[in-house]
Amino acid sequence: MSGISKETVLQVIRDFWIPFVLACGWTAYSVLGQEITVKTVFSTLGPSFFMFSWLSGQLIRVRKQAGVEKSFNQLQSRMGEMIEEFQGKALATIDHITGGDSYCYAEPQLSRPTYYPIQWMVRNAGDYPMYQVAVRIDDLSSREIFLPGAIHMDSKDVVLGDIPCKVARHFDWSHVGQTESRHFTLTFEARNGILIQDLIIRRINGELGFAYRLKKNDEKLTVIKEIVPANFPRDENGEFDWSEPPVSDYDGLSFRSNRGQHL
């Protein structure tokens, strides 16, 4: 017994006391009314104790196996939750680094006098900062044919840099003048991709307003946002005409500069 620890003895007692009690009970029932001898007692007690020990062992094994399976299922479920949580945090980190699905769009501030340059306000409409934002703005209404195959168009490239969430950047360019309609295209480039914005300024009943739509340049152009005032004209199907204005022939009379145009 010197090599057997107290914990081992206690564990043996815990595992075998029930089979021993059952075996004693069965032995007492079996020899009841018979001549009781050591041989009859042990010949009944031994096999019955072995049988009840085997049954008890099977029950313990099944119970432990069920517990192990339950623990494994809980561990598997927890690992799945941890993996999903890690993936979510990893994607959020990547979105913070790249800009995620954030996008910019521009709105012209039309409260200035029409002979002042238009102030363009570029907003970050997403939930993540946008990095290395640059925009090229083209005035499609200014296109003129100088020579066959040579078209002049007023354009401007602006580097806006990093734009935090819900923050706007401003730049001045071009003029509204007295025209009834102006059509601009803005191409935004940032770390998370390219976005194209069509913007049309219209004078309706003497008041200036604008409509715009945003297109994501992924594998194909996809419209992600479209805003058209209720008083802007539409076709018989209720659709707004986003087609580009025709290219004019150069008349030599227009005054242009690299900051825009007066009309």
> What pLDDT shows up at residue 121?
96
> What pLDDT shows up at residue 262?
33
Percent of the chain exceeding pLDDT 70 equals 85
Q: Is residue 255 scored above 70 in pLDDT? A: no
Which of 18-22, 107-111, 213-217, 220-224 is predicted least confidently?
Answer: 18-22
pLDDT (average), residues 110-115: 86
Selection from 29-43, 93-107, 140-154 with the highest mean pLDDT: 93-107
pLDDT (average), residues 52-81: 80
Selection from 62-76, 91-105, 136-150, 197-211 with the highest mean pLDDT: 197-211
Q: Is residue 25 scored above 80 in pLDDT? A: no
DSSP string, the chain: -TTS-HHHHHHHHHHHHHHHHHHHHHHHHHHTTS---HHHHHHHHHHHHHHHHHHHHHHHHHHHHHHHHHHHHHHHHHHHHHHHHHHHHHHHHHHHHH-TT--EEEEEETTS-TTSPEEEEEEE-SSS-EEEEEEEEEEGGG-EEEETTEEE--EEEEEEEEE-TT-EEEEEE---TT-SEEEEEEEEEETTEEEEEEEEEEEETTEEEEEEEEEEESSSEEEEEEE--TTS---TTS----PPPPPEEP-S--EEETTEEE-
139/68: higher pLDDT: 139
pLDDT (average), residues 215-235: 88
pLDDT (average), residues 211-220: 85
What is the pTM assigned to this prediction? Answer: 0.66
Q: Is residue 226 scored above 70 in pLDDT? A: yes
